[in-house]
Structure 1
Amino acid sequence: MSLVNFRDSAVLSDPEGLRIRPGVLFRSAQPFPAADEAVVAQLRACDIRTVVDLRDPRETRPDDWAAAEAAGIAVVAAPVNPATDALTAHMATMTTAADLGEFYLLLAESAPEAVAAAVEAATRPGAVLLHCAAGKDRTGLLTALLLDLLGVPADRIVEDYARTAEALPQIFANLAERHRTALNDRGTGTRVTDSEGRTLTIPAPLLQAPAEAMSVFLGHVRTRHGGAEAFLPACGVPAATLAAFRAKAVAPAA
């Protein structure tokens, strides 16, 4: 089964190719049920040589990317899922798209090592694929930071993020089958049971891909941290790594 929510982030965010070349940065949901020959062919067709898995280890299975690794495609674990008091408290009160944007900032601020590992992996030869479970939240914030670093306009980054809404019905159906929860029964909030048997309520904004959430996230990164240009070094990304990603990603005429 091919990857769901799969796309080249340059296509919508910079169709003119002024700031990022096509074929550099891809995004998707996790493989369902696991990577197979079709997924490997999909990756190879796009020259994707590195997959960055942003999921928590408790979300993963040993066979998720086994076929890709057997084909010589590197898989880098960079889990963005810190269980901090601030994140837990924010989720408990999340009701709006703006709250979701604030949540993205808290996620990024709470996982500097994962952010740095993902950026380093993006500098490797060939294209890179970023993914989490849905390819929306963690994938969205990392993709946004990389695009912002390259100077892609915020409205284009938001447009790329919001496109995930088209794939959400399929994503949640697949997640529900995998985890045997009712994630595809989306309403004001969905109650699920996690891997440790705890009952959780997922806030409604987390089950959507509202453009406002990404707009708010980018605004906070800019006003509170000076944009990705300053935020990524604060996460521990060396200047040489930022330069290497720019050299790889920027269109020759830019």
Structure 2
Amino acid sequence: MPLVNFRDPSALADPAHRWIRPGVLFRSAQPFPAADAATAAHLLDHGIATVVDLRGEAESDPGDWAAAEAAGVDVVAARIEPTNDELARAMRTMTTAADLGVFYLLMAESAPQGLAAAVEAATRPGGVLVHCAAGKDRTGLLTALLLDLLGVPAEEIVADYARTNDAIERIWAGLADRNRAALNEVEAGRLVVPAPLLEAPAGAMETFLDLVRTRHGGAAGFLTACGVGAATLDAFRAKAAARTGAPEAAAC
């Protein structure tokens, strides 16, 4: 079954390839229901050698990527789990796109080991696919950090994030029987999803990027605080930066 919300961010965020090389970074939702031989062939056709799974342990299943692993694709678990009390409060009080952006920062700050493992995996040879459950929130914040690390302008990062809205109905249909319960509380016998989480509002990513810059000086500072070494940051830039990259990429 085709991967939902699958794309190379360079196609929208940098179609002229000024900052990022095409074919090095991909994003998607989790496989619905599980990867099969056709999914594995799709990965290989795009040169994807590594899958980075950002989901929590309760959300994932060993069989999700078994067909891809059998085809030679490595799968790296880099867990980002929205489980602490501060995140729970932020989810309960979430009403605006800006609230969702704050939630993204809190989630990223709560999972330095997961982010560090994901960035390390992104330096591996070949294409790398990053995914969570919907391919929207955790995938969105990690993709944003990696694109910011390469100097991609904020407006282009936001545009790539918002493109998830094109697939939102298929995402929620795919999640309906599985992961939704792991991410939400039950009230009056029904799952409650904060309205901003039902979409990919541009304002959420704008807020997240603003907070990363004001609190951490940008993606490089934030990832360094997460324990990502300078050599790893340099390795990702060497792999993913456009050969004729813009000055911003070199200045990160």
TM-score, normalized by the shorter chain, greater than 0.5: yes
Q: Does 1:232 align with 2:219?
A: no
Counterparts of 1:144 and 1:129, CA distance in 2: 14
CA distance in 2, matches of 1:180, 1:15: 33
Deviation of the 1:251 alpha carbon:
1.3
**Aligned counterparts of 1:118 and 1:191: Cα–Cα separation in 2:** 24
Q: Deviations over 1:10-42 (max 9, x none)?
A: 111111101100001000000011001111111
Which residues of structure 2 form unaligned runs of 5+?
Answer: 246-252
Cross-structure match for 1:63: 63
d(CA) in 2 for partners of 1:237, 1:62: 27
2:202 to 211, 214, 229: 211
CA distance in 2, matches of 1:56, 1:6: 20
Which runs of 5 or more residues in structure 1 are unaligned? 182-189
User: For 1:98-143, what per-residue CA distance to the aligned partner results, in whole angstroms no more than 9, with x for missing partners?
Assistant: 0000000000000000000000000000010000000000000000
Secondary structure at the counterpart of residue 224 of structure 1: helix
Contact 1:12 1:159 in 2 (8 A): yes
Task: Kindly provide the amino acid, as one letter, of the partner of residue 155 in structure 1.
Answer: E
The equivalent of 1:23 in structure 2 is 23
**Contact 2:54–2:139 under 8 Å retained in 1:** yes
Aligned residues: 244
Q: 1:72 corresponds to which residue? A: 72
Task: Note the alpha carbon deviations across 1:121-174, whole angstroms, 9 max, x for none.
Answer: 000000100000000000000000000000000000000000000101011111
The Cα of 1:201 is off from its aligned counterpart by: 2.3
* Deviation (angstroms), 1:199: 6.5
Asked if the contact 1:33–1:178 (Cα under 8 Å) also holds between the matched residues in 2, the reply is: no
Q: State how far apart, in whole Å, the 1-side matches of 2:227 and 2:54 are.
A: 17
For residue 207 of structure 1, report the CA deviation from its aligned partner: 1.0
Percent identity over the alignment is 67
Offset of residue 178 of structure 1: 3.7
After superposition, the Cα gap between the structure-2 partners of 1:31 and 1:193, relative to the gap in structure 1 and judged at 3 Å, is farther
Corresponding letter in the other structure for 1:126: G
* Cα distance between partner residues in 2 of 1:179 and 1:17: 35
Q: Name the SS of the counterpart of 2:40 in structure 1.
A: helix
- Structure 1 runs (4+) deviating above 6 angstroms are none
| Partner amino acid, structure 2, of 1:253 | T
Cross-structure match for 2:249:
none
Q: CA RMSD, aligned part only? A: 1.9
For residues 54 and 179 of structure 1, the distance between their equivalents in structure 2, rounded to whole angstroms, comes to 13
Q: Name the CA shift for 1:177/1:154 in 2 (closer, same or farther; >3 Å).
A: same
User: What is the deviation of 1:67?
Assistant: 0.3
Q: 1:180 to 1:7 in 2, by over 3 A?
A: closer
Equivalent AA in structure 1 for residue 91 of structure 2: M
- Paired letter, 2:227: G
